[in-house]
Amino acid sequence: MQNGEVSLEQQIELLEQQLRQARKMAALGELVSTTTHEFNNVLTTILNYAKLGLRHKDDATRDKALDKILGAALRAEKITNGVLGMARNRSADRAPTDLAKLVEQSLVLLEREMQKYRVAVEVEAQPSPPALVCGNEIQQVLMNLLTNARQAMPRGGRIMIRIAPDAAAGTVDLTVRDTGSGIPADRLPRIFDRFYTTKQGPDESGKGGTGVGLSMCRDIIEQHQGKIRVESTVGAGTAFTLKLPVATPQPQSSAVAMPIQRLGVPTTQSATS
């Protein structure tokens, strides 16, 4: 190889770096889109009830309008705090991270989407040590898994999120389980393949169909020296489990079993990477 020439290995590494950067920008773009949509909903509520309060002079109507405006403002505060929490996680460095807080921040932005599609969300966070992760990247994985779970239940259903320590493996496990249609056994071994997808394209929310989501999730988890596992039964649902390394021993989180949302809910195969 002559001076100045780039080897095939170097070209591949450069392309992989560019792909990782593109994924980060795509995740950031989706976050901005979701946040903007949520703030638009909040502002619409505030404007409509402010107009209602101005049109009607009776105390009962004005009290109702003020209550609705206050509720919308409190939701805006939650969204802002969630976005600020994500901004603090933008660092590429790995640090001790409370997965329960990461879940809470993510669900704030997805709450309305879950309600729209009649999906109930339950969270059980057992007392666990912090995980040694890049919070921003794990949040990308979590948002992807939650969106996939919601899309697997077009007529509504339930998502269960569980955080629990695995002392024997030295990991903190984060599981996202849905009650959706499940993944056929012949497709299960391929779901982490790059550009493989079972979707026809983005849904009405503009999400999904690119085929890079689960591949990206696997790459991120493996870069953290962790594992991602999936179990699925057709007609019963799918569960993805992230096994993430525990940070240097620190005081355990005070998290307890915690139902986040309960909406209307209509009445295994496995693979590991």
Flag whether 1 is in a domain: no
On the question of pLDDT at 129 being above 60, the answer is yes
Which residue did the predictor score with more confidence, 228 or 264?
228
Q: What range defines the domain where residue 22 resides? A: 8-82
pTM of the predicted model, to two decimals?
Answer: 0.70
Asked if residue 201 lies in contact with residue 240, where contact means CB atoms within 8 angstroms, the answer is no
Looking at the DSSP bridge assignments, the partners of residue 238 are 232
The mean pLDDT value for 2-8 works out to 68
- Residue at a domain's end among 36, 53, 82: 82
Flag whether 171 is in a domain: yes
**Which structure tokens are listed for 16?**
């992989």
Of the pLDDT bands very low, low, confident and very high (cuts 50, 70, 90), residue 188 is: confident
Task: Report the CATH number at residue 210.
Answer: 3.30.565.10
* Residues ≥6 apart with Cβ < 8 Å to 186: none
53-91 confidence digits (pLDDT tens): 999 989 999 999 999 999 888 888 877 776 776 666 555
Domain count, the chain: 2
- Residue at a domain's end among 56, 82, 108: 82
Asked if residue 139 lies in contact with residue 244, where contact means CB atoms within 8 angstroms, the answer is no
Asked if residue 146 lies in contact with residue 110, where contact means CB atoms within 8 angstroms, the answer is yes
CA atoms within 13 A on the CB side of 184: 4
Query: Using CA atoms, how far apart are residues 268 and 273, in angstroms rounded to an integer?
Result: 16
φ, ψ at 262 (rounded to 5°): -130, 110
Shared domain for 268 and 153, answered yes or no, is: yes
Shared domain for 44 and 107, answered yes or no, is: no
Shared domain for 139 and 66, answered yes or no, is: no
92-126 confidence digits (pLDDT tens): 678 899 999 999 888 888 888 898 899 999 999 99
Flag whether 236 is in a domain: yes
Shared domain for 240 and 207, answered yes or no, is: yes
Q: By CB neighbour count within 10 A (0-12 exposed, 13-18 middle, 19+ buried), where does 25 fall?
A: exposed
